[in-house]
Structure 1
Amino acid sequence: MTSPRTRWVLPALLLTVALTTTGTAGAADGQAAPARSPLTGAADETADGVSAAPATTVQSAAFAAEDFCSRLPAGARTAAPDAVTACVSVDSGTGTATRTKTAAPAPATADLAADDPAGDGIGTEFEPDADDPEPPAPSCALTNQGNWTWSRTGGMCLNGVEVTYTLYDANGKTIGTGLVQVDSTLATSYKSLDLNETITARLVRVTGDVKSLVVKMQVDCGAGCKTVTKQPWYGSTAMTPGTERTGKTKYSGDAFAAGTTRSSFRTSYKMYVTMPGAVPVDPSASWSSPATGEIRCDKEQPRLRGCVIPTDDIPVLSYSSAHEKYGIVVPIYEEIMKRRGTDILHAVNQTKANANRASTCTPFTSLYPGQTGKDSCDEFPPASTEEGGQDGDLCAELTPQVVNGLWSAPATWPTRPTSGNETCLRLHITQRANSSAGGVLGSLRKYQRLVDGDPFRIEFTA
């Protein structure tokens, strides 16, 4: 059936727009619509015209300090016969953290046994667009001393925490100190439930009766996670000033509670600082990752399981009107979001997405029956969002096209004119354009680990 020339009632800018490139495109061609001003700001463009992911905002939280004291074990008094008490204080190194004091428990041998590390019919809105590159490997910079820093997909770092070991004699006089500085970097992955961490401890300096120190560590994580490698290093070799110990720990976020598909947890750390010859007792320093930086792992995507650290920095879905495959639909998408009065959508799972798609696109009459890929139903807002799934009879049914260098979106059927107030769409576009537009959302969903209920922002660029 030939599409009528009746134009959809839209602002003048969207009714007829001159192309910035030569040629003519219709619904069957799936070519880009002309460049226009963005609704919420432009993303950077890569060399091939694909919108690059926006910069991730780094979150930060101050490190909480702690003090711990205990009587010095007899085995350590050979090197420091006057020492009676050993105290360990853990601080941010900035002198601004709030301090708490922990009473000394009865001495007990710590369990520091080594662990053997363990080995280790979907819609396009749930799969990445083939044009979208893999995101960069997660990384976080060891900056902002004494603070935790993290981002949604960039992992979590702790920089420059200072652990001070102090010896006191029977009169409470300081007779020796040692300063240990600790850094850690933890990487999450959008395609794995394994979380790998590197921890480094440096003995910066000693004074008085403290000539060297033995530093051991153990890590753990909360419910929903299991610790695969608990200790970053093994052995009891004493550290002297200027030396450091570096090692790897590993967690797995696959300890989901029965009947659940995601978990959120924090990591925790115990440091054992002793004089050479002393048996480690209850940890002399301990800390946990911040409550505002909980790691979330899930198994809600069709193919991949993975982890992120959710933040207030909402992921951004960027559509470019210059995109060669799906660009023809962008002006209509943008107009609908303006009518809705928001740039925020919310993800749903695949079961809900299937129901939403059926609600909007069933039944659907093809313009080119029997010609595979020439026509398809593109619903907007997307079926894989809470805002999708509106009754198709209430949506504007349009056929975007470019004729003689002019873009328009006429009503598909003369018997179904549009009012100009609809807030949802049924578009007739090629399967190629439809799959590409859905794949852009699929990329965001996959790489940002969007799960049921997660918000994301949609923006439109030239």
Structure 2
Amino acid sequence: MRKPSRPALLIAALLAVTATGTTGAGISQATPALAAVTAVTDTATPAAGVADETPRQSTSFTADTTCAPIPAEDRADADGAVKACTRVQPASAAKSNTSSRQAAAPSPTASAITAAAADDPSGDGISTEFEPDADDPEPPAPSCTLTNPGQWTWSRTGGMCLRGVVVKYTLYNQQSVPIGTGEIAVNSTLATSYKSLDLKETISARLTSVSGDVKSLTVRMKVSCGAGCKTVTQQPWFATTLVPDQEVTGSTKYSGDAFAANTTRSSFRTSYAMYVTMPGTTPIDPNASWSSPAGGEIRCDKEQPRLRGCVIPTDDLPVLSYSRSHEKYGIVVPIYEEIMQRRGTDILHAVNQDQANTNRAATCTPFTNLYPGTSGADSCDEFPMASTEEGGQDGNLCAELTPQVVNNVWSAPATWPTRPTTGTETCLRLHITQRANSSAGGVLGSLRKYQRLIDGDPFRIEFTA
């Protein structure tokens, strides 16, 4: 990592001993929010982007037992058994960890996103809070690692996993005495996408052990999903007979585009039915069934301007991260930070594009361009952002400032001497270059895209060095 540039160190030293700017006329560098500004001109530090995803949600799998009589015509093939029971249950941690194929939970960084360069490539600055940077990397695909056996685990963008669950099949004779058992390890990984309403799920079943009269088992599955979703591929595989240590794997597919009339989003759960029988006997309908957890409802929507997609909302909010040292937009971050401190919260809420346009006009109209003859030299940057519920405040009530660096010293004086700030404003309209404006907006645009922020969604904002 490169050391801070000499100008950056100079700024840090000056801020440590000097308070510049006019108190009451702008935002003073003497405030705690500004004391950490050290590298407005340093281009060596990484670009800010979407913060790493918070820890996954999880809940234990609920055990369930189903029993049914074996049809009389099949009892000969079942060695005289008269009843079969299946119990769906979590496997013990020790048992689940005996095989690398047997356990998984989403990786803590499966959907972490870092913006490589927050910038609006076209430079037009149009709707950047809804248009992510073209050079931002795609988020990684959902993945699972060996942990949390016997639990559902999921995250907003990393899909949902189930590992360490066993379907135990037991045969009983006429005296209700067990005469044979078989255990099937079931694993599933469901992937959501920020840019597609299609959801794909991989499911596997492995016969881990048998005893008594059970030598092999025939296994088939069906899946389904709730209102707002339609099942495209119901069966991951056709009926397959497994012997011990044999595994069958297949894929299913759902579509989250079954929106009710006059709606633009839907939330639903997925359900599973496993049919387990002795080879050659009639399937019991169903032999084992379960559903995804109520706390992990999948939400699909068509509310973003261009992309439709799905996430699994959780209480761990998406995080918008701004760097004070970013070469393009860093000059505005100290002011953003102070305004959020005045507001007493780090949470904002997304709104749709129509409301964002209304909010932007409320804060930035009318706006006097300081350099009307120079393209891109001045633009109105409103904060809180127009694309949030907290934006759209009357521009006459906001501090109107022009952040600048003069002789390596940062300041944000009031734009108009006749309109000094009071130091209590909770909104801003800033005079900054279109480049800085577009860059700051593009960071939010990336968060909105990859985390599928839609109308009403909360997110956190943080500020880094």
Structure 1 spans left out of the alignment, 5+ residues = 22-31, 36-45, 96-120
Structure 2 spans left out of the alignment, 5+ residues = 1-20, 94-124
Counterpart of 2:28 (choices 1, 6, 10) is 10
Counterpart of 1:91 (choices 89, 92, 112) is 89
Amino acid at match of 2:301: D
Deviation at 1:11, TM superposition (A): 5.3
Cα distance between partner residues in 1 of 2:76 and 2:35: 87
Residues 19-418 of structure 1 aligned to structure 2 (within 5 Å): 20=38, 32=40, 48-51=46-49, 53-94=51-92, 123-234=127-238, 236-418=239-421
Amino acid at match of 1:416: R
Secondary structure, aligned partner of 1:189: coil
Q: Is the alpha carbon distance of 1:231 and 1:18 closer, same or farther for their aligned partners in structure 2, counting shifts above 3 Å?
A: closer
Cα distance between partner residues in 1 of 2:416 and 2:438: 24
CA contact under 8 A between 2:27 and 2:412: conserved in structure 1?
Answer: no
Deviation at 1:385, TM superposition (A): 0.4
Secondary structure, aligned partner of 2:26: coil
Cα distance between partner residues in 1 of 2:379 and 2:53: 34
Which 4+ stretches in 1 moved above 4 angstroms?
Answer: 13-21
Deviation at 1:135, TM superposition (A): 1.6
CA contact under 8 A between 2:353 and 2:387: conserved in structure 1?
Answer: yes
Q: May I ask how many residue pairs the two structures share in their alignment?
A: 412
Secondary structure, aligned partner of 2:336: helix
Secondary structure, aligned partner of 2:273: strand
Q: TM-score, normalised by structure 1?
A: 0.85
Q: Is the alpha carbon distance of 1:16 and 1:230 closer, same or farther for their aligned partners in structure 2, counting shifts above 3 Å?
A: closer
CA contact under 8 A between 2:207 and 2:242: conserved in structure 1?
Answer: yes
Cα distance between partner residues in 2 of 1:292 and 1:17: 42
Counting aligned pairs with the same residue, the percent is 73
Q: Is the alpha carbon distance of 1:347 and 1:391 closer, same or farther for their aligned partners in structure 2, counting shifts above 3 Å?
A: same
Amino acid at match of 1:459: E
Q: Quick check: 313-322 or 54-63, which moved more? A: 54-63
Amino acid at match of 1:64: T
Deviation at 1:282, TM superposition (A): 1.2
Secondary structure, aligned partner of 1:69: strand
Secondary structure, aligned partner of 1:351: helix
CA contact under 8 A between 1:16 and 1:408: conserved in structure 2?
Answer: no
Q: Quick check: 128-137 or 365-374, which moved more? A: 128-137
Give RMSD over aligned pairs.
Answer: 2.1
Secondary structure, aligned partner of 1:128: coil
Amino acid at match of 1:177: T
CA contact under 8 A between 1:176 and 1:209: conserved in structure 2?
Answer: yes
CA contact under 8 A between 2:240 and 2:248: conserved in structure 1?
Answer: no
Secondary structure, aligned partner of 2:400: strand
Amino acid at match of 1:263: S
Counterpart of 1:429 (choices 426, 429, 432) is 432
Greater RCO, CA 8 A, separation 6+: 1
Question: 1:148-194, CA deviations, whole angstroms, 9 ceiling, x for partnerless residues?
Answer: 01111111000021111111111111111111110000011111111
Question: 1:257-306, CA deviations, whole angstroms, 9 ceiling, x for partnerless residues?
Answer: 11111111000000000111112231110000000010111111101111
Deviation at 1:140, TM superposition (A): 3.3
Q: Is the alpha carbon distance of 1:441 and 1:9 closer, same or farther for their aligned partners in structure 2, counting shifts above 3 Å?
A: closer
Cα distance between partner residues in 1 of 2:247 and 2:37: 62
Q: TM-score, normalised by structure 2?
A: 0.85
CA contact under 8 A between 2:78 and 2:281: conserved in structure 1?
Answer: no
Q: Is the alpha carbon distance of 1:352 and 1:226 closer, same or farther for their aligned partners in structure 2, counting shifts above 3 Å?
A: same
Q: Is the alpha carbon distance of 1:124 and 1:49 closer, same or farther for their aligned partners in structure 2, counting shifts above 3 Å?
A: closer
Say whether 1:448 aligns with 2:451: yes
Deviation at 1:19, TM superposition (A): 7.7
Secondary structure, aligned partner of 2:86: strand
CA contact under 8 A between 1:138 and 1:189: conserved in structure 2?
Answer: no
Cα distance between partner residues in 2 of 1:424 and 1:122: 21
CA contact under 8 A between 1:200 and 1:245: conserved in structure 2?
Answer: yes
Where does residue 25 of structure 1 map in the other structure?
none
Secondary structure, aligned partner of 2:360: helix
Cα distance between partner residues in 1 of 2:363 and 2:159: 39
Cα distance between partner residues in 2 of 1:402 and 1:285: 68
Cα distance between partner residues in 1 of 2:33 and 2:89: 63
